[in-house]
Structures are given as C-alpha cells and as structure tokens.
Amino acid sequence: MTEQSAAVALAADPRLTFEGEIAVLSLGAGEGRFSGDSVAALHACLDEVESSEATALITTADSKVWSNGFDTTWLATHVEAAPATIQSAERLFGRLLTFPIPTVAAIGGHVFAGGVMLAVAHDVRLMRADRGYLCLPEVDLGVVFTPGMTALLTATMTPATAHRAIVLGHRFTAPEAVAAGLVTEAVSLEEMPVRAREIAAALGGRDRATVAELKRRVYPEAATTLGATPPERALLEALAAAVS
C-alpha cells in the first residue's frame, strides 16, 4: 500500500445520501479519521443537509471502525495546517451539537478519541452490542483536551462517567456505555440500520430554529467554546509525539 492509499484508508471519506426525509452520512470504509480534507468534506456534507428538507440525520460508517478520531500522522506531517484543522474539527462537533434537526450516531464499530467527541455531539447514540469499544485514550498519549473539547465531553457525561472516561481512559463495551449513559441503546449490527431509522423518523419534523436554539441553551458553554480558539502548542506537540 502506498503512502497516499494508506492515508485514504485512515481518513474519513464521507458520503451523503438521502432516504426520503432522512439524511444518512457515512464516514466511509476506513478508520474515519479527521484530516484537513476529511473535516472540510464533513462540513460540506452538513451544509448540504442544512440546505435540504431533511428532518433527521444518521451518521454511520462502513467498517469495523466508526471513527478513530484525529489522523495524528497527517497532523504531524502538516504542521502548518494542524492548528486550523483541529479548530475546524471542533467547529464540526459544535455544529452537530446544535444541529437544527435530530441526529443519530449509528456506531457499528470502535470509536476512539476525537471519534467519541463526534459521537457525543449527536442527540442519540446506538452502539453495536457484541463488538467494539468506546474510549478516550488521550491520558495514555499525554494529550490534554482543549477547553472546547472538555466542555463538550463534560456536558454530555455525568461527572462520574467523565472522570472514568477522560481521566482513567476506560475502554467501554457497549453494555458499559449504555449503563454509563454514553450511548442510548446497544443493538445488533443487523438491527442497527432499522433502529436508527425508526428513531430518526420518530424524532424528525420539528421546527428547525426551535431545535437549534434549545440545543444551544442546553449546551451553552460547549456551543460557544468549541472552535473559538486555536489549540495550545502542548496539544500539537503531544499529538506529534504520539506518532513517533
């Protein structure tokens, strides 16, 4: 595999389709990682959803990994673009957190690091019951979250779960994630598409402006902090060190 094809296999390769009034965003068949191009493509997909008449959004993936978060190799080799890419990814999380239609994350495989941030920004989270972990491994990488990332994670978790996930870096199985409130339901891989569409259809059809404003009021700190400032140098150095 060439260096270019390896990068493609890692990065999210988003694909947007519509099933009636439901928008379905696939992160692709790779590891769903965030690079400059993939973050820009995800923003473009959300732009398209917002300009459509979709009443709900489902985010899925086509592999055993839903998202492994930031592409640390890409960030380390694109030093000049890394700060802006991380900041843009934070704005992506913020957009989803306050998206004007209901959102469902259909997590059919592993979800790590920045992928967890993408997942918790959704209104409803489904996770494959029999396989896969949800984990924030940054404590083992020497990475300290930005203020926006911290605000997002602590706003969508109980204090006890946030401590276990962020400080201890626990790997949650699907049943553990349900018990901790990190995901809504654990379902079989076969059942997931049907269940995601059932939930999306049931929640859709509300006034967009009302939905967005209610979300902003529920998550005021995260909504205003995500992407507001460039990441600190220490974060960039820690991510670069994780590659070596």
Per-residue tens of pLDDT for the chain, all 244 residues: 344 444 445 666 899 999 999 999 999 988 999 999 999 999 999 999 999 999 999 999 998 999 999 999 999 999 999 999 999 999 999 999 999 999 999 999 999 999 999 999 999 999 999 999 999 999 999 999 999 999 999 999 999 999 999 999 999 999 999 999 999 999 999 999 999 999 999 999 999 999 999 999 999 999 999 999 988 888 888 887 877 5
Provide the pLDDT for residue 155. 97
The residues, ordered by sequence, that sit 6+ positions from 49 with a Cβ below 8 Å of its Cβ are 16, 23, 25, 57, 101
The amino acid that residue 150 corresponds to is T
Provide the pLDDT for residue 12. 67
Structure tokens at 130: 């029999």
> What is the chain's alpha carbon radius of gyration, rounded to the nearest angstrom?
17
SS3 195: helix
Provide the pLDDT for residue 14. 94
Domain boundaries, the chain: 3-243
Q: Do the beta carbons of residue 138 and residue 234 sit within 8 Å?
A: no
Which burial class, exposed, middle or buried, applies to 14 when counting CB atoms under 10 A from its CB (0-12, 13-18, 19+)? buried
**Do the bridges between strand 22-26 and strand 15-19 make them parallel or antiparallel, or are there none, so unpaired?**
antiparallel
Nearest to 100 by CA among 200, 212, 21: 212
Round to whole Å and give the CA distance between 119 and 114.
9
SS3 142: coil
3-243 is classed in which CATH architecture? Alpha-Beta Complex (3.90)
Q: Do the beta carbons of residue 124 and residue 78 sit within 8 Å?
A: no
Where would I find the H helices in 67-137? 72-77, 82-97, 114-120
Q: Which backbone phi and psi does 175 adopt, to 5 degrees?
A: -60, -40
Nearest to 60 by CA among 10, 117, 12: 12
Query: From the CB of residue 178, how many other CB atoms can be counted at a distance below 10 Å?
Result: 18
